[in-house]
Amino acid sequence: MQTERIHKLSYVNADLPGFLHHLEHSYINRRVGAYIATVNPEIGYAAAKDSSYCNVLSSADFILPDGIGVVMMSKLTNSRLKSRIAGYDVFINLLKIANDKKKRVFLYGAKKEVNQAVVDRISSEYPNISVVGYSDGYAKDKEAVAKRIAKAKPDMVFVALGYPHQERFIYEYKHLFPQAIAIGLGGSFDVFSGTVKRAPGWLIRLNLEWLYRLVTNPSRWKRMINIPKYAFTVLKEERVQKQSYYPEQVKEPQNKSMHS
C-alpha cells in the first residue's frame, strides 16, 4: 500500500475502495491482524506535540487520512494524498465484509446506551455477524476489557474511545488479539446508533463535514482551534527541513586557495 508522509506520520495514499480491497485480500481473508489509526488534523497536531503519542500512531499498520485538512496539508507540502478515507466509512464497509464472511466482532467504546444501541443495530441489520463481546468506553479497568477481547477471539475489534485513548489502547493490548483488525473510530458509535447525525452527503462531498460538526456542536470550536495550529506546525516544519537542506547544496568547497 502506497503511503505519503506528512509531519512524521505516513498516511495511506489510496481511495476507500482501494484500501478496503487491500485490507480484505491481504489481511481479512488471510486472517492476518492489523492496527488501523484514523487521523484527522486534530490528532495530527496532538502527535506533533507529544512524541509518545506520535510513536503510538506510527506503530499502526495503516494510518488513514480521516479529515480533509490532512489531504489539504498534503497538497501544500507536495506529498499528494489522493483522498480522504473516513473512519466511519471504513467501519460501515467492515461491517458489510464481516456480514458476508460471517465474522466475529467486538465493540468497545461510547456510553453504555450508545454501545447497546450499536450492538442492537448490528444484530438486526447484519444477521451473519457474531457480536462476541461489547463494553462501553467508560469502564475503569481497560486491561480487563483487553482480556475479554482476547478471550472472545474476534476477527474485528472496533474501538470508539476518542483519541488518544483508542490508539493507546490498541497499541498497548494488540498483542492479546493479534489475529484481529483493530481500528480506532472516534465518535462513530454515536453516529451509527443515531445519537449524533452525520453531515448530509452533499456537505461531505463538498469537504465541509468539519463545518457541519462545528455548527451542530459549537462546543467543538475549542478543539477545532487545533486545525490551524496543525497547519502552522506542518508548514513550519517543512520550511525548517528545506532550510537545513539548502546550505548543504550550496556549501563552498573547502580550501579554495589550494586550487588557485
Contact between 145 and 172 under an 8 Å Cβ cutoff? The reply is no
Contact between 65 and 44 under an 8 Å Cβ cutoff? The reply is no
C-alpha closest to that of 108 among 206, 164, 189: 189
Smallest distance from ligand UDP to CB 109, Å: 4
Task: State yes or no: residue 138 binds ligand UDP (CB under 6 A).
Answer: yes
Smallest distance from ligand UDP to CB 92, Å: 15
Smallest distance from ligand UDP to CB 227, Å: 12
* Angle, in degrees to the nearest 10, between helices 226-250 and 41-49: 60
Residue 98 CB contacts under 8 Å (≥ 6 apart), including other chains = 105, 126, 128, 129, 155, 156
Nearer to ligand UDP, 146 or 160 (CB): 160
Task: State yes or no: residue 67 binds ligand UDP (CB under 6 A).
Answer: no
Residue with cell 506520535: 54
Nearer to ligand UDP, 178 or 194 (CB): 194
Nearer to ligand UDP, 149 or 161 (CB): 161
Using CB under 6 A, which of 8, 82, 111, 142 touches ligand UDP? 111
Chain residues 159-198 in contact with ligand UDP, contact rule CB under 6 A: 160-163, 165, 186-187, 189-190
Instruction: With H, G, I as helix, E, B as strand and everything else as coil, classify residue 200.
Output: coil
Task: State yes or no: residue 209 binds ligand UDP (CB under 6 A).
Answer: no
Report the C-alpha gap between 229 and 231 in whole angstroms.
5
Q: Which amino acid is at 259?
A: H
- Letters for 222-251 (x = contact with ligand UDP by CB under 6 A, - = none) are ------------------------------
Using CB under 6 A, which of 46, 95, 110, 118 touches ligand UDP? 110
Contact between 184 and 162 under an 8 Å Cβ cutoff? The reply is no
Name the residues that contact ligand UDP, by CB under 6 A: 109-111, 137-138, 160-163, 165, 186-187, 189-190
